[in-house]
Structure 1
């Protein structure tokens, strides 16, 4: 998936978490974390949105682990969670937002032809039964679908809030 789709996916993941948790102590920082987290797994790809912003880090990670391996795995999610608990122990909203964004990124990339190495370091690639080509027309429809769902969710959420 491309950066725009991941961005919308990060927002949608945060909206889904807020719906499930009934908005328990969530703040705008939660959504900011989700938007940032949606880009983090692609640090392993030098031409990605985050890879272009942090080219040296991206080249190192890409060289060490390749694309859609470690940074697209459950091991990575657990490692990020552990690091955030040490570095940001009191930033619950940011932690949960980042994790929601990272998980949405991985799930969206599981819907692509190549899939991801979800159980890294094991070589098994995981993809969803229905998958699309990154950057293709179907990805645009996926992004539009996510955007429509978010608009409906926001309308309902704001309606309850007022």
Structure 2
């Protein structure tokens, strides 16, 4: 999965969790943190977005574990949760967006043919093989994620008593309709190509 799709998928997961499970409007910083955390597992690739920012971390991780190794496993997710919960009190760390963003990356890569070693140190890679990275289906998923974010925000804006947010609601609704129309056109085009 490409970096922009990881960001969009992480944002969708954060907004969906916030609205659908926690029953509250997500904070902007939570969505931004989730999006950034959605790129963290690729620290094991020196040419990734974060790998280029911190090559002194990325290069050693890549040499020891390789790309889509330890950083793409349940063990790493458990380690991150443990570290965040351990230092949350002292540092006031927002645990949920970081965990959701990180885990969303692993789910995203699980959908590609390359797969991920979920049970690392067992090196067997698991893959649902739904789409190739940077292919037409990923572009469709990228747009779908942002449509999903818009949908969950629209649901959150429907709460009774919030009459002052009607203009924002209308703007989000109009954006969702336009995005759906564009995605439908893209899907028809994609289906014609695949036929």
Fold equivalence (TM over 0.5): yes
State the Cα distance separating 1:90 from its structure 2 match. Answer: 5.8
RMSD, aligned α-carbons: 1.9
| TM-score (norm. length: structure 2) | 0.76
Q: Which has the higher contact order (CA 8 A, sep 6+)?
A: 1
In 2, the alpha carbon distance for the partners of 1:13 and 1:155 equals 15
C-alpha change, 1:15 and 1:35, in structure 2 (3 Å) is: same
In 2, the alpha carbon distance for the partners of 1:157 and 1:71 equals 33
In 2, the alpha carbon distance for the partners of 1:33 and 1:78 equals 18
State the Cα distance separating 1:136 from its structure 2 match. Answer: 1.3
1:43-70 deviation line (CA, Å, top 9, x unaligned): 0011111111111211111111011111
In 1, the alpha carbon distance for the partners of 2:115 and 2:92 equals 30
1:50-98 deviation line (CA, Å, top 9, x unaligned): 1111112111111110111110100000111111122323667711100
Tell me which residue corresponds to 1:58. Answer: 58
In 2, the alpha carbon distance for the partners of 1:89 and 1:81 equals 13
Tell me which residue corresponds to 1:15. Answer: 15
In 1, the alpha carbon distance for the partners of 2:132 and 2:10 equals 20
Tell me which residue corresponds to 1:116. Answer: 116
In structure 2, runs of 5+ residues without a counterpart are 163-195
Matched length: 160
8 Å CA contact retained: 2:16, 2:149: no
Tell me which residue corresponds to 1:154. Answer: 153
In 1, the alpha carbon distance for the partners of 2:62 and 2:4 equals 21
| TM-score (norm. length: structure 1) | 0.90
In 1, the alpha carbon distance for the partners of 2:90 and 2:104 equals 23
